Structure 1
Amino acid sequence: MSAAVVSLELRRGAAAVNPVAKLAATLVLAVALALSVDAVSAGVALALELAALPLAGLGWAPFWHRTSALWITAPLAGVTVALYGKASGRVYVDALLVHVTDGSLHLALVTVLRVLAIALPAVVLFATVDATEFADALAQLLRLPARFVLGALAAFRLFGLMRDDWRALELARRARGVADRGRLRRFAGSAFALFVLSIRRGSALATAMEARGFGGPTPRSWARASYFGRREVLLIAVATAIAAAAVTAAVATGQWVFLGH
């Protein structure tokens, strides 16, 4: 057994699952929850997802760090819908464009639950995904073009360098006194310099990859094999069960409202 496979097996829970399976599980939940606009299906799905969080292989500190923006944006989206959503039922506030009614409050609750139920599993599952592992899975399992996958992986790897370049440009321009006044002017100058630097680095990287045979016509080999086994099937089955339970609960309570009606 290779060192990569051993390392994969030592990781806990869903963190060791192939990224393609994580993508499939996320899509199953998203499609099922996007078919209806009701609070029951979203609430049941969210409750089951929270119950399954300990199996995700993500500690509580990383969990709150990764999902902190989600817990803020979801209620904000609900507030927006409550203020400007479709008016129906009892009216609580009616001023200019603001209409707070029973219908808008219900739709706000549905929005919050649905955003959390769809986005939470995606954030948690992909928090433990390595970019190289994801690229391997896309090329080997989904048979996506290797040239496209590796190019996207190389571009993703350059994001960290771009952040460092931005910081270096800021320090260099301040040291030389260039655009020391005016925040917008300084930002525009640094952005243009970073754009030129990114083009140069991308061209050099493309030339280096071509020189190493990344664009060759022969089938390429892979340093790490991407596996799809029982663990991946189990994750997709769990996601399907959660989606089925949510839809069943909504239909049984008469709350199922198909999207578009």
Structure 2
Amino acid sequence: MTLLDARARTGMVARINPVAKLAASGLIAIPLVLTLDWLSAGVALLLECLLIPFAGLRWREFWVRTWPVWLAAPLTALTIALYGEASGEIYVEWFLVRVSEGSLVLALATLVRVLAIALPSVVLFVTVDPTDLADGLAQVVRLPARFVLGALAGLRMIGLFLDDWRALELARRARGVADRGRIRRFLGMAFALLVLSIRRGSKLATAMEARGFGAPGRRTWARESPFGGREWLLLAIGALIAAIAVGAAVWAGTWNFILGPS
């Protein structure tokens, strides 16, 4: 666990059940996915920015965790602005590029919508421990234990894959076969890692089966996954943000239901 992870998991959000974080993110994201207007996304983003300081993340942690979002959102908006559906006044037209009044409005809506959907998800899930999430999915959502534990075991293997990749790279350099041919080296290391992963997965499956992870009947859990007042409060906040955003767009007449008739 890194220093940022240790600090992030000491805030007030860290003690909330991961299932509630997942549900709250969905409550905010689903209405924004169903519309393409700047007002609903802008209202949601404004309300989220007001609540982010209470998440327990320091500002350095926040920027370190969310910088991919701040990079991806303008790039997505730029693509829409250059190649989106043209309407209204045309400002620039060259080959496949057509910048119009309509494409700029769509680009603005896309920019704000990406930020409004991605930022709360990143802030909430930076504090999630995979084991806590698995406990919540199995005990609260009642997903099959075999599926949950298998997914958790696979997720735990990601860190080992990175360590194996570095070990393979160092071993090949020690043997003098990693000085040139980057593509060939990458393919060789990827194949070696695939073989190693299959072997490790087979051993892990056998070990889990021997310990009764696939046994029939109701399973007991070492740690309880509580779902109480804090979780319901987070869900209420997510629903309220979505309701205010949708209500503002409908009231202003900017609501643009993407599944409706064109």
Range of TM-score over shorter length? over 0.9
In 2, the alpha carbon distance for the partners of 1:218 and 1:244 equals 41
Counting matched residue pairs gives: 252
Give 1:136's aligned amino acid.
D
How far off is 1:175 after superposition?
Answer: 1.2
Residue of structure 1 equivalent to 2:206: 207
How far off is 1:11 after superposition?
Answer: 4.1
Residue of structure 2 equivalent to 1:67: 66
In 2, the alpha carbon distance for the partners of 1:73 and 1:215 equals 41
In 1, the alpha carbon distance for the partners of 2:18 and 2:175 equals 46
| Per-residue CA distance 1:15-65 (angstroms, 9 max, x = gap) | 211111111111111111112111100000000000000121222111111
Give 1:168's aligned amino acid.
A
How far off is 1:171 after superposition?
Answer: 0.8
Residue of structure 2 equivalent to 1:152: 151
Q: CA RMSD in A?
A: 1.2
Within 5 Å, which residues of 2 pair with 1:48-67?
48-67=47-66
Percent of aligned positions that are identical:
64
Residue of structure 1 equivalent to 2:239: 240
Residue of structure 2 equivalent to 1:182: 181
Given the two structures, how large is their TM-score scaled by the length of structure 1?
Answer: 0.94
Give 1:100's aligned amino acid.
V
Q: Does the residue aligned with 1:88 lie in a helix, a strand or coil?
A: coil
Structure 1 unaligned spans of 5+: 1-9
Whether 1:226 and 2:239 are equivalent positions in the alignment is no
Given the two structures, how large is their TM-score scaled by the length of structure 2?
Answer: 0.94
| Per-residue CA distance 1:221-257 (angstroms, 9 max, x = gap) | 1111001101000000001111111011111111111
In 2, the alpha carbon distance for the partners of 1:179 and 1:170 equals 8
In 1, the alpha carbon distance for the partners of 2:211 and 2:170 equals 35
Within 5 Å, which residues of 2 pair with 1:74-85?
74-85=73-84
Structure 2 unaligned spans of 5+: 1-8
In 1, the alpha carbon distance for the partners of 2:152 and 2:216 equals 19
Residue of structure 2 equivalent to 1:42: 41
In 2, the alpha carbon distance for the partners of 1:68 and 1:168 equals 29
8 Å Cα contact 1:33-1:118 kept in structure 2: yes
Within 5 Å, which residues of 2 pair with 1:84-123?
84-123=83-122
Whether 1:16 and 2:15 are equivalent positions in the alignment is yes
Give 1:19's aligned amino acid.
P
Q: Does the residue aligned with 1:178 lie in a helix, a strand or coil?
A: coil
In 2, the alpha carbon distance for the partners of 1:221 and 1:11 equals 27
